[in-house]
Amino acid sequence: MDDPNRSIQCSVSQCEYHCGDCDYCSLDTVRIGTHESDPTNVKCVDCMSFVAKR
């Protein structure tokens, strides 16, 4: 996936949708979620579109 969406910055190079040598996502949209019932800081927020590279 090397077609960067310049509206979605991402530095997680371990993701299948990360665009190689630039810090962008190749998806058209991403889903943001949480694993907490009452998120109070950045550690509580997750990219639900993440897929580990194979």
Enumerate the domain spans of the chain.
5-47
Give the pairing of strands 45-47 and 24-25: unpaired
Query: Within 10 A of 48 (CB to CB), how many other CB atoms are there?
Result: 11
Rg (Cα) of the chain, in Å, rounded? Answer: 12
pLDDT, one tens digit per residue, over 7-51 is 999 999 999 999 988 999 999 999 999 999 999 999 999 999 999
pTM: 0.85
Identify the pLDDT of residue 39. 95
Give the burial class of 35: count Cβ atoms within 10 A of its Cβ; 0-12 exposed, 13-18 middle, 19 or more buried: exposed
